[in-house]
Amino acid sequence: MTKFSDLNLNPKVLKAVEDAGYETPTPIQAAAIPPALEGRDVLGIAQTGTGKTASFTLPMLSLLSRGRARARMPRSLVLCPTRELAAQVAENFDTYSKYLKLTKALLIGGVSFKEQDKLIDKGVDVLIATPGRLLDHFERGKLLLTGVQIMVVDEADRMLDMGFIPDIERIFSLTPFTRQTLFFSATMAPEIERITNTFLSAPERVEVARQATASETIEQGVVMLKASRRDREASEKRNLLRALIEREGDKCTNAIVFCNRKVDVDIVAKSLTKYGYDAAPIHGDLDQSQRTRTLDGFRAGDLRFLIASDVAARGLDVPAVSHVFNFDVPSHAEDYVHRIGRTGRAGRDGKALMICIPRDEKNLAAIEDLLQKAIPRVDNPLQSGTAPEAEAEAAPAPEKKAAKPRVSRRSKKSEEPKTDAPAAKAEETPKPQEAAEAPVAAPVAAQEAAPEPQQPAPKPERKERSSRRGGGGGSDRGRQDHGGGKVTGMGDHLPGFIALSFDERRTR
């Protein structure tokens, strides 16, 4: 079995490794360190949690042990996708370089430019940065990259997924062509491999595990959830999350809960805190000092549940994470591998549970295709027993008020009390004009079952009023035609002047 002492590392670096308690390198370390010490480009592919950080940290320190840094011209550069990962890499350099007189600087957002400028002005051997902050310093004229001898891109696939391709291409153009380049990642998509063909020169490809595989020490499971109502889906997912945590019991010593959206990170953290769980959020919109305090508390064991977005999914090394809960199914299948890789690290056992709602089944299928195996289905604890009470934020459905009977405009006009005589007349056979009005009276009849008082029939005086209006003051001449006969066809509504003969019109 290979030991660190067999890898030709600098004696001072080797002593620091022994002080840290490591004797045997991981497969990725044993395969990547020798070609890196030879000055060759390396393309390292390994699942998360296998020690990729030490794979480039140890050879870099051994190579940089000879030489001296100049002001504003770092000798090596390490690019990381997130602030947390950059800070973790800086901690690794501190651990393994304690017997070397090497300097480092950490350039990340959320920290004062002034303090970072002071470190750069003194000259640093190792510069660890996120792409955005690195270019900010360069554009301000505070940094030169022409002295970079070794360049590392950590979590290369994540850098490209996050849209850093233009920044990385520009940074590469600012460094010498003779630099040594190291790419390390857990997954390597075909399009990323195409880009590495541009950036790397005849690299040593080191692949110690099938791409995008999860550690065999991680027990996986998924719970299928179909909400009772669409507007209760979010609250029922939170209920299910708490039920899963309770079912794990004491085995769940600490856990990371991953959400797809930052707003959900805050909501889930507040929900767990409300129900007595020790939880805190971490995502990109929080202040850097708050993110650092939260992560330090989780590492120290002071915080039990870390509610995170994918900012915490890549590369963070918290050795003893017992569980990972995917509150949401990740949109990208590769992210699932990185998320669950936070548990089961360094040969430890771990457990990863995920909640899947119907609209996430397509993403679940993509994850299973990537893993080339099905994720075991786990029983829903809320369906096996009495479901806990819904959260307070899920407001109960409002009670339906008794519908008031609709009263037509016509019926409102006849609400004055009437005698029974018109109602009795309404039962008789309707006259022609009353028959024409029957469809109008139908809505009134349909309301007889309502608690409103019964509406009387239309007033019979309407015939007389219309007769007076149409008869020109009640004259009998209005009802005669040219021959003196009764006018038929237009009824009592015939205007009187139409029935006058020609001679009568002239005399009038």
The residue with greater pLDDT, 46 or 257, is 257
The token pair that represents 228 in the structure block? 């009772």
CB of 289 closer than 8 Å to CB of 110: yes
Q: Residue range 224-246: average pLDDT? A: 94
**Stretch among 91-95, 106-110, 158-162, 347-351 having the lowest mean pLDDT:** 158-162
The kind and range of the H/E element at 164 are none
Give the separation between CA 243 and CA 178, rounded to whole angstroms: 56
Q: What angle do CA 27, 28, 29 make, to 5 degrees?
A: 90
Distance (Å, rounded) from C-alpha 361 to C-alpha 250?
31
Q: What is the mean pLDDT of residues 112-133?
A: 93
Query: Is the pTM value of this prediction over 0.75?
Result: no
Give the span between the Cα atoms of 357 and 221, in whole angstroms.
14
Question: E-strand spans in 303-446?
Answer: 305-308, 323-326, 350-356
Average pLDDT of the chain, as a whole number: 79
Give 447's pLDDT tier (boundaries 50, 70, 90): very low
Q: What is the DSSP letter of 476?
A: G
**All structural domains of the chain:** 4-207 (3.40.50.300), 218-384 (3.40.50.300), 460-508 (no CATH)
- Token representation of residue 375: 């994720």
Cα distance between residue 430 and residue 410, in whole Å:
19
Lowest mean pLDDT among 130-144, 285-299, 480-494: 480-494
Contact 380/240 with Cβ under 8 angstroms?
Answer: yes
Tokens representing residue 123 in the block:
């000259």
Residues 156-204: pLDDT tens digits? 777 877 788 789 889 999 999 999 999 887 777 776 777 788 888 999 9
Do 173 and 93 meet the contact criterion of CB atoms below 8 Å apart? no
In the numeric block, which tokens belong to residue 227?
């909400």
Residue 62: the pLDDT is 95
Confidence of residue 353 (pLDDT cuts 50, 70, 90): very high
In 3D, which of 196, 192, 145, 149 has the Cα closest to residue 170? 145
CA–CA dist 109, 106 (Å, integer): 10
Range among 225-234, 329-338, 396-405, 414-423 rated most confident: 225-234
Nearest to 338 by CA among 362, 363, 309, 361: 309
Mean pLDDT value across residues 108-115 = 88
User: If residue 86 lies in a helix (H) or strand (E), which one and from where to where?
Assistant: helix 83-96
DSSP string, 10-40: -HHHHHHHHHTT--S--HHHHHHHHHHHTT-
CB within 8 A of 216, min separation 6: which ones?
none
Contact 134, 107 (CB under 8 A): yes
3-state secondary structure 233-272: HHHHHHHHHHHHHHHHHHHCCCEEEECCCHHHHHHHHHHH
Would you give the DSSP letter of residue 427?
T
Q: What is the pLDDT of residues 460-493, one digit of tens each?
A: 444 444 444 444 444 444 444 444 455 555 555 6
Query: Concatenated DSSP letters for 192-223?
Result: HHHHHHHH-SS-EEEE-S-TT---TTEEEEEE
CA distance 218 to 405: 64
Least confident of 226-235, 265-274, 485-494: 485-494
How long a stretch of residues is the chain? Answer: 508
Confidence of residue 210 (pLDDT cuts 50, 70, 90): low
Instruction: With H, G, I as helix, E, B as strand and everything else as coil, classify residue 470.
Output: helix
- Is the pLDDT reported for residue 134 higher than 90? yes
Which residues, at least 6 apart from 15, have a Cβ–Cβ distance to it below 8 Å? 99
Question: Residue-wise over 66-84: b if at least 16 C-beta within 10 A, else e?
Answer: eeebeebbbbbbbbbbbbb
Q: How far, in Å, CA of 336 to CA of 324, rounded?
A: 11
pLDDT surpassing 80 at residue 10: yes
| Enclosing H/E stretch for 375 | none
- DSSP 3-state assignment of 346? helix
pLDDT digits (tens, 9 = 90+) for 361-403: 999 999 999 888 999 999 999 886 544 444 444 444 444 444 5
The Cα 209–Cα 359 span in angstroms is 32
- In 259-360, alpha helices (H): 262-274, 288-300, 333-340
Residue 482: CB partners within 8 Å, gap ≥ 6? 501, 502
Query: Which structure tokens are listed for 119?
Result: 């470190």
The candidate with the shortest Cα–Cα distance to 4, out of 23, 28, 29, 32, is: 23
Q: Which amino acid is at 139?
A: E
Q: What value does the mean pLDDT take over residues 3-27?
A: 91
Locate tokens 């017992």: which residue?
Answer: 322
- Residue 508's pLDDT band, with cuts at 50, 70 and 90, is low
pLDDT at residue 393, rounded to an integer: 45
Q: 192-206, 273-287, 366-380, 421-435: which range is least confident on average? A: 421-435
